[in-house]
Amino acid sequence: MVRIGDRMPSSSDKRVVAVYPGSFDPVTNGHLDLIARGAMIFDRLVVAVSHNLEKDPLFDIRERIEMLEAVTFDWKNVEVEMFDGLLVEFARAKEARVILRGIRAVSDYEYELQMAMMNRKIEPQIETVFMLPGEPYSYLSSRLVKELARLGGPIKGLVPSMVEERLRTKVS
């Protein structure tokens, strides 16, 4: 149980680091929207790219990180890193107090709830914070973007332009 007064930040402990984890295969404009929102609220935002994907990624870890680094370059409080293993261990190593996740629709909620509760059980000091992406991105996912690209559908405006080019090359 968390009691009022538990882990109240001291005056030297006010910088809030958040970790934003995901597969980012590839990064979409929805992810970028969330990164922009997170970067405005948290002092430091570490975008944590999962290395160990059960699903076979289209882009390897190096490509996913490269694209994220390029499209987040302008945010000075945002960094991109790879992580392997337990997310909360990575977050602890970064001295993060927050795990940031986006929720698009009610359908995301069940999975996100399970993950947040499990992470809280492993590490009660780290809080999961959910944010809503902008409305135009509420239906957007990396999976759908990849499917569209494979089938020759329009992906303009759904991903940053460098990702659009890489996707087209990858699926051609």
CB of 50 or CB of 72, closer to ligand PNS: 50
Q: Interface with ligand PNS includes 86 (CB under 6 A)?
A: yes
CB of 27 or CB of 149, closer to ligand PNS: 27
CB of 4 or CB of 47, closer to ligand PNS: 47
Compute the distance between CA of residue 69 and CA of residue 81 in angstroms, rounded to an integer: 9
Select the residue whose beta carbon is closest to ligand PNS and give its number: 22
Q: Which of 75, 64, 92 lies closest to 36 in space, CA to CA? A: 75
DSSP secondary structure letters along 79-104: EEEEE-S-HHHHHHHTT-SEEEEE--
Compute the distance between CA of residue 140 and CA of residue 68 in angstroms, rounded to an integer: 17
**Residue of 37, 94, 104, 170 with catalytic role:** 104
Q: Interface with ligand PNS includes 103 (CB under 6 A)?
A: no
The verdict on whether 51 is a catalytic residue reads no
Distant-in-sequence, close-in-space partners of 168: CB < 8 Å, separation ≥ 6: 149
The verdict on whether 55 is a catalytic residue reads yes
Q: Interface with ligand PNS includes 22 (CB under 6 A)?
A: yes
Compute the distance between CA of residue 56 and CA of residue 44 in angstroms, rounded to an integer: 30
Residues that bind ligand PNS (CB under 6 A): 21-23, 50, 86-87, 115, 118-119
**Which amino acids are annotated catalytic?**
31, 55, 104, 142
